[in-house]
Amino acid sequence: MSGVLSYFRGLFGQKELRILILGLDGAGKTTILYRLQVGEVVTTIPTIGFNVEQVVYKNLKFQVWDLGGQTSIRPYWRCYYSNTDAVIYVVDSADKDRIGISKQELISMLEEEELKNAVLMVLANKQDIAGCLSVTEVHRALGLDALRTRTFQIFKTSAAKGEGLDEAMEWWALLVDFVFFLENAEIRDFASAVQR
């Protein structure tokens, strides 16, 4: 079914999804962005302001905004919320001292009206570091069980090693296919007829 949907999405077009990558400084946001874009780790420096890149995965195009995570920059995140389809929230799983701050920033961000319909992907990053919080511990520490009305998923990742990012992108692709399927009844009916 996913292949049929991808085919029709290609025929009828697919808007470029606007995604924000947010999280505290040092969480690995920029490393993830460039790992997704070019498939390898590139040397980065702390992001002051933002990076914006186009990421292509299968037949999908994402306009990805990587916003700096320093304390002085976080209040400006809201300037980028308008027209955002999804948020990738990156957590440094090895930074146990700041998991509470990460939770506060996540809650604050999710309360914003402009993000009420944005899908959330949480990346529990730096899972390759010994002694880091597990995905379950990150899930619990961020209070993700309280997100009853938001579509979200959490993934175990290591941007440095490229682990978990393919699974996360595959989830995006399936989710976009599903949304496209629901939003296009005529195409859905035609696709059903073709499969018979």
From the number of C-beta atoms within 10 Å of its C-beta (0-12, 13-18, 19+), residue 183 rates as exposed
Q: How far apart are CA 135 and CA 120, in angstroms?
A: 15
Which residues belong to the active site?
70
User: Which residue would you say has higher pLDDT here, 35 or 188?
Assistant: 35
Q: Is position 149 annotated in a ligand binding site?
A: no
pLDDT digits (tens, 9 = 90+) for 78-101: 887 899 988 999 999 999 999 999
Q: Longest C-alpha distance within the chain, in Å? A: 57
- Strand ranges in 82-188 using DSSP code E only, listed in sequence order: 86-92, 119-125, 152-156
Q: Tell me phi and psi for residue 148, to 5 degrees.
A: -85, -25
Contact 35, 99 (CB under 8 A): no
Q: Is position 58 annotated in a ligand binding site?
A: no
Q: Quick one: CA torsion of 40, 45, 46, 49, rounded to 10 degrees?
A: -90
Predicted pLDDT at 29: 85
Q: Is position 125 annotated in a ligand binding site?
A: yes
Cα 21 to the center of its chain, rounded Å: 6
Between helices 2-12 and 185-195, what is the axis angle to 10°?
130
pLDDT digits (tens, 9 = 90+) for 135-182: 999 999 999 999 988 989 999 999 999 999 999 989 988 887 776 666
Contact 47, 29 (CB under 8 A): yes
User: Which residue would you say has higher pLDDT here, 80 or 127?
Assistant: 127
Q: Is position 83 annotated in a ligand binding site?
A: no
In the numeric block, the tokens 């790992």 are attached to 35
pLDDT confidence tier of residue 39, bands split at 50, 70 and 90:
low
Domain 2-195 belongs in CATH node 3.40.50.300: yes
The pTM of this model reads 0.81
